[in-house]
Amino acid sequence: MSIDKQDVQKIAHLARLALTEEDAMQYQHSLSSVLSLVEQMQSVDTDGVAPLSNPLEMTQRLREDEVTEVNQRDAFLANAPQTEAGLFLVPQVIE
């Protein structure tokens, strides 16, 4: 699939871009290349191919989910000007 210069100008107008004639010719070539690549990729038969999240057959090493720090909530709340029920109180911003 190819795109002509009028299509490039229309896309540029919709995107509020100012293009010179030279830029329009370059974008015409680039966009046509992208569209032909997409067309080529769509012609590939992918029936029966499972989607992948990673091309490598590896499992991710995860660390153990364990607590590594002590609870310091009371110390942090002691620095706040206003608290209530273990929460910071802040001024209302939205009415």
Q: What angle do CA 89, 92, 95 make, to 5 degrees?
A: 155
Ordered alpha helix ranges (H), 2-86:
5-14, 21-42, 73-78
List, for residues 10-61, the tens digit of each pLDDT value: 999 999 999 999 999 999 999 999 999 999 999 999 898 888 877 887 777 8
pLDDT at residue 73 is higher than 80: yes
- SS3 for 60? coil
Q: How far apart are the first and last CA of the chain?
A: 54
pTM for the full model?
Answer: 0.50
Written as six digits, the tokens of 4 are 């002509």
- SS3 for 31? helix
